[in-house]
Copies of this chain bind each other. A is one copy, B any other.
Amino acid sequence: MDPTGQPPDVARAPRPYHHGDLATTLLDAGEAELVDKGIEGFSLRGVAKRAGVSHAAPAHHFGDVDGLLTALATRGFERFLARQEEFRRQARREPRAQLEASGVGYVAFAMENPALFRLMFGSRRPDFASPGLGLAAQAAFDDLARHVADVTGNANPPSKDRAALHDVAATWALAHGLADLLAAGRLPSLGGLPPRARNRAIVGILGRAVRSP
């Protein structure tokens, strides 16, 4: 319990009329709302309440509720890529190790942010036709495809080359399937392992997707 007896998310000092960075605060509050209520129970008023702001305030930054969800998904894809990069930075430079690190990061992100992952991959509410979200999602795909190509040595675009398509589809599907099942709590015998053992298992499984040339 907070010793002042105040709820921890209420500012002690009188908050200035202007917030400073309400957009970011609202995105953080939106993520918390997603975690708590799921996409199905997500509401603009709930987000505003979490942010400690009147329920009409978000409109100034995101337009309507779908605008906020689109922004949340966009930031989600950016973090998704960043998480994969983090794992790659700690891995050997060799293409295979880099691809494995990407896959582990893919799955780790989903397990760390299951509600956000669902918004990004399992909801129709964000506007994927909006340029920001469209580009962020495409960037994640392109990044994975590039790392697959580095391993196979096949630089042809998947849309033109059947082998390239199969390689990238297999890798993506394997990572995505593990991510989705583990985020949902399916596969408990894998998800319940301690993190290091789990990541080792994931690397072993992901290795089946593509073979080096």
Q: Give chain A's interface residues, CB within 8 Å of chain B.
A: 38-40, 118, 121-125, 141, 158-159, 162, 165-166, 169-170, 172-178, 180-181, 184, 186-187, 189-190, 201, 204-205, 208-210
Cβ-closest chain B residue relative to A193? B165
17 additional A-B pairs beyond A174-B174, A208-B210, beta carbons within 8 Å, are A38-B123, A38-B125, A39-B40, A165-B201, A166-B205, A169-B190, A170-B205, A170-B208, A172-B177, A173-B177, A173-B178, A173-B181, A173-B205, A174-B177, A176-B180, A180-B180, A208-B209
Cβ-closest chain B residue relative to A124? B38
Please name all residues of chain B whose beta carbon is closer than 8 Å to the beta carbon of A204 when the two chains form the complex. 166
User: 12 pairs across A/B with beta carbons < 8 Å?
Assistant: A39-B40, A40-B123, A121-B180, A121-B184, A141-B186, A166-B201, A169-B201, A170-B205, A172-B187, A173-B181, A174-B177, A176-B180
> Is chain A's interface secondary structure helix, strand, loop, or mixed overall?
helix
Please name all residues of chain B whose beta carbon is closer than 8 Å to the beta carbon of A187 when the two chains form the complex. 169, 172-173
- The contact of A176 among B121, B125, B181, by CB within 8 Å, is B181
Please name all residues of chain B whose beta carbon is closer than 8 Å to the beta carbon of A190 when the two chains form the complex. 165, 169
**Bound state CA distance, A131 and B174, in angstroms?**
30
- The contact of A118 among B38, B122, B175, B178, by CB within 8 Å, is B122
**Bound state CA distance, A123 and B189, in angstroms?**
21
Please name all residues of chain B whose beta carbon is closer than 8 Å to the beta carbon of A39 when the two chains form the complex. 40
- Residue of A177, A184, A190 most packed against chain B (CB within 10 A): A177
Please name all residues of chain B whose beta carbon is closer than 8 Å to the beta carbon of A209 when the two chains form the complex. 174, 208
- The contact of A173 among B123, B165, B174, B189, by CB within 8 Å, is B174
**Bound state CA distance, A180 and B174, in angstroms?**
11
Do residues A170 and B176 form an inter-chain contact, with CB atoms below 8 A?
A: no
> Nearest chain B CB to A206's CB is how many angstroms away?
9
**Bound state CA distance, A180 and B180, in angstroms?**
9
Please name all residues of chain B whose beta carbon is closer than 8 Å to the beta carbon of A201 when the two chains form the complex. 162, 165-166, 169
